Chains A and B, each alone.
Chain A
């Protein structure tokens, strides 16, 4: 999405409606003071601060919001929500934007983080719990940064903090069907939204 050229503000856009209905937050309450961006631990690596995301929603700039790295770099620490003078739960707004981005399968600006979450869920689906060793290994393999974060591995193993074998839980089949049902439901839901 080009950062140059003029923008066309579209008040009370679909984007705004989606965010407001899914997050329960009133986007227009934001008066752009920037306390959120100022306190956000991740803002310095984001392409837009939380304040700018709120603005993008107010202006109805769909791509700008959904293609930002911000929504993926948000750690949900909720510092913004805790301090917002207008009592907007900005973390929830971010959350709702991620859902929309995921639903629209729009290319995530932070592929690694998206990948991480995806693997995380895959592991849950497979064994019910997260096996950190596998998580790390898979992430490094698929993320094409084979040696990321290996420093601590020996230490972890030495301290018996990482079990080599993934845990086994009886509830796994339950979990798998749960995942399946959720997927189906969400598909259904999206269809309805489209229509």
Chain B
């Protein structure tokens, strides 16, 4: 007969303020197997844990039920607590009377109390049928996969590599560098983005612990913490990067010209190309869609006639051009994965009131970065895309695709206020005759030296801030008329601008959801990835061994992304500092006496964790591979003979919870 101890946490007033704890304790006393009840102001605090520890020993308890916050919060904390008192950590059951009770029934204290009592009763019932569980140990592969070669991914890769673990950095584009490479200057320090980024990119390329896979994508992921099996698709570059020296002959001599993605189609690039001068690796890929040779081949297929071209092949001094090169799949094992897939800018074509692309001189903040950049399409000269004239009146429009539920984006993109201030300053630096106007709703400058920076834009550079959201932009002759309100004076404002800059917000990179589904991590309604805990586990996911960094979690600026890259790396190195991993013992079991050998379970198991064995009497039956099993319980529900069961969630335990509701 079990001796269960019930401990109810007040969680300050979070629980105690709504649930009548004394009533719950009173009721718990009379529950079967309950030998001891007590309450704590904060069970998770040190005195709280101590009192539980002592109570277990003094009252020879062998089961513990704690009524407190969600098990997703503190289950592990309390498992350790009971373990120190000499009980198997899995003889603990938590009744979630905060998230599932006091916090959602604050409007009805009595009902909340009754519910809390029943939740505790369910927990007690389950606890009675808990069994001690023992975890196993498995080895781990001390190699890390970093997905995304932006600043966050770069930082993560370097930190792990410097801790002397191997890293594979996978980047979808032909070069690493991400968005930061496209920026001109950075706020609030105004140092040159490329200048501070380039050295890091080179470090990545040269680091003996880092394998760089650009122009590659993660295709599928199997396995679990310590032992992930990942297939990476290496897209055909049509250039042998081992032979290639990056001399540049090919991309200088290539005759094709096509809009440059890196310059947001404001400049052109060749068909065999590197996206930008500081690209890493400094080795080209062939864009087969625009390459004359591949167009020729395609035409030949269709029986059409086009001139062939293989200048690059002829001129390459090391004959690195390989038209026959195919896509290939690279399969690797990793112990941990860091996801740093970053963001893309909001597509403003849904803003019909702003012209949705109708007006050439209405550009986005990122376009302006390219125009400001010395390595940009205009060599750093800011000109109107339409006629190449120098704009003298520039109007910024904030919150395009941010704080706008009507356009399906309720969140604040966080960086726009600052980059607008920066760009206003830079424009004035480029041409003192420029007058900048910024339409804003709020100036969000919460960050070190941010406020001071925004003030400089106003005081020293004469940027005129107008408090109001722009309603309409239209063309009047060569001018763009921007209609807003100055809500401080309460009157409508119209400004005739030469150039309009839309501060488009951040959204997750294309393909984020598909990647999340491959990795089995969760994402929110805006498709940003969800961290394990928004405050306390900001770079972990709910899947062990998979970590997050940068703006794939939500809008972030450069320093935050760098910090998160480092943080994720620290988590990975901590993981790799262990030689074995202890596995979760909550796995499936199969009763050989009941198993009929239908082996349906082997078919449904998503992890191929069920092997077969032959019994002495010659029957072939199922056998769970406990290191492979992730404890989903699919086999249990599909076993017709009740042979399969799941430790920690056994049929008996769950039924006990159900039936306890009607005792």
Write the residues of chain A forming the contact surface with B, with a CB cutoff of 8 angstroms: 31-40, 43-44, 48-49, 51-52, 79, 83-87
The answer to whether A83 and B483 have CB atoms under 8 Å apart is no
Q: A32-B487, A83-B353, A84-B406 are in contact. List 15 more A-B contacts (CB 8 A).
A: A33-B403, A33-B441, A34-B469, A37-B468, A38-B493, A39-B353, A43-B485, A43-B492, A44-B491, A51-B485, A51-B490, A79-B471, A85-B406, A86-B405, A87-B406
Give the 6 A-B residue pairs with the shortest CB-CB distance, closest first.
A39-B471, A38-B471, A34-B468, A34-B485, A33-B469, A85-B404
The answer to whether B484 and A34 have CB atoms under 8 Å apart is yes
Q: A51 → chain B, closest Cβ, in Å? A: 6
The answer to whether A35 and B490 have CB atoms under 8 Å apart is no
The answer to whether B406 and A83 have CB atoms under 8 Å apart is yes
Q: Mark contacts of B479-501 with chain A using CB atoms, 8 A cut-off: 1 yes-contact digit, 0 otherwise.
A: 00001110100111100000000
B404: chain A residues within 8 A (beta carbon): 85
CA distance A43 to B489 in the complex (A): 13
18 A-B contacts (beta carbon < 8 Å):
A31-B441, A33-B468, A34-B468, A35-B471, A36-B471, A37-B485, A38-B468, A38-B483, A38-B493, A39-B472, A43-B485, A44-B491, A48-B490, A49-B485, A49-B491, A49-B492, A85-B403, A87-B405
CA distance A17 to B158 in the complex (A): 58
Other-chain residue from A38, A44, A87 in contact with B484 (beta carbon distance below 8 A) = A38
CA distance A85 to B468 in the complex (A): 12
Other-chain residue from B405, B468, B491 in contact with A35 (beta carbon distance below 8 A) = B468
Residue of A nearest to B493 (CB): A38
Q: Is B147 an interface residue (CB 8 A)?
A: no
The answer to whether B485 and A38 have CB atoms under 8 Å apart is yes
B493: chain A residues within 8 A (beta carbon): 38
Q: Is B253 an interface residue (CB 8 A)?
A: no
Q: Is B470 an interface residue (CB 8 A)?
A: yes
B441: chain A residues within 8 A (beta carbon): 31, 33
- Interface residue count on the B side (C-beta < 8 Å): 22
Within 8 A of A (CB), among B351-389: 353
The answer to whether B403 and A37 have CB atoms under 8 Å apart is no
Q: A147 → chain B, closest Cβ, in Å? A: 31
A32: chain B residues within 8 A (beta carbon): 487
Q: Is B407 an interface residue (CB 8 A)?
A: yes
CA distance A36 to B414 in the complex (A): 24
CA distance A44 to B483 in the complex (A): 12
Q: Is B467 an interface residue (CB 8 A)?
A: yes
| Secondary structure class of chain B's binding surface, majority of residues | mixed
Whether A38 contacts B470 in the complex (CB less than 8 A), given A33-B441, A43-B492, A49-B485, comes out as yes
B472: chain A residues within 8 A (beta carbon): 38-39
CA distance A112 to B27 in the complex (A): 73
A34: chain B residues within 8 A (beta carbon): 467-469, 484-485, 487
A87: chain B residues within 8 A (beta carbon): 405-406
Q: B17 → chain A, closest Cβ, in Å? A: 24
B399: chain A residues within 8 A (beta carbon): 33, 85
The answer to whether B405 and A38 have CB atoms under 8 Å apart is no
Residue of A nearest to B472 (CB): A39
A40: chain B residues within 8 A (beta carbon): 492
Q: A195 → chain B, closest Cβ, in Å? A: 30
The answer to whether A37 and B492 have CB atoms under 8 Å apart is yes
CA distance A83 to B404 in the complex (A): 10
B403: chain A residues within 8 A (beta carbon): 31, 33, 85
Q: B417 → chain A, closest Cβ, in Å? A: 14
The answer to whether B485 and A85 have CB atoms under 8 Å apart is no
B470: chain A residues within 8 A (beta carbon): 35, 38
CA distance A34 to B471 in the complex (A): 8
Q: A28 → chain B, closest Cβ, in Å? A: 14
- The CB with the most chain B CB atoms within 10 A, among A51, A52, A83, is that of A83
Within 8 A of A (CB), among B395-425: 399, 403-407
Q: B347 → chain A, closest Cβ, in Å? A: 17
CA distance A85 to B472 in the complex (A): 13
The answer to whether B406 and A86 have CB atoms under 8 Å apart is yes
Residue of B nearest to A81 (CB): B406
B407: chain A residues within 8 A (beta carbon): 85
Residue of A nearest to B442 (CB): A31
CA distance A86 to B408 in the complex (A): 10
CA distance A37 to B487 in the complex (A): 9
The answer to whether B485 and A83 have CB atoms under 8 Å apart is no
Q: B490 → chain A, closest Cβ, in Å? A: 6
B491: chain A residues within 8 A (beta carbon): 44, 49
B484: chain A residues within 8 A (beta carbon): 34, 38
A33: chain B residues within 8 A (beta carbon): 399, 403, 441, 468-469, 487
- The CB with the most chain B CB atoms within 10 A, among A33, A36, A51, is that of A33
Q: Mark contacts of B536-555 with chain A using CB atoms, 8 A cut-off: 1 yes-contact digit, 0 otherwise.
A: 00000000000000000000
CA distance A40 to B490 in the complex (A): 13
Q: A174 → chain B, closest Cβ, in Å? A: 42
Q: A31 → chain B, closest Cβ, in Å? A: 7
CA distance A36 to B484 in the complex (A): 9
A36: chain B residues within 8 A (beta carbon): 471
Q: Mark contacts of B164-203 with chain A using CB atoms, 8 A cut-off: 1 yes-contact digit, 0 otherwise.
A: 0000000000000000000000000000000000000000
- The CB with the most chain B CB atoms within 10 A, among A37, A44, A51, A87, is that of A37
Within 8 A of A (CB), among B234-251: none
B485: chain A residues within 8 A (beta carbon): 34-35, 37-38, 43, 49, 51
CA distance A139 to B166 in the complex (A): 86
Q: B420 → chain A, closest Cβ, in Å? A: 16
CA distance A140 to B468 in the complex (A): 39
Q: B502 → chain A, closest Cβ, in Å? A: 14
B487: chain A residues within 8 A (beta carbon): 32-34, 37, 51
Q: B271 → chain A, closest Cβ, in Å? A: 42
Within 8 A of A (CB), among B473-532: 483-485, 487, 490-493
A31: chain B residues within 8 A (beta carbon): 403, 441
Q: B346 → chain A, closest Cβ, in Å? A: 13
Q: A157 → chain B, closest Cβ, in Å? A: 37
B405: chain A residues within 8 A (beta carbon): 85-87
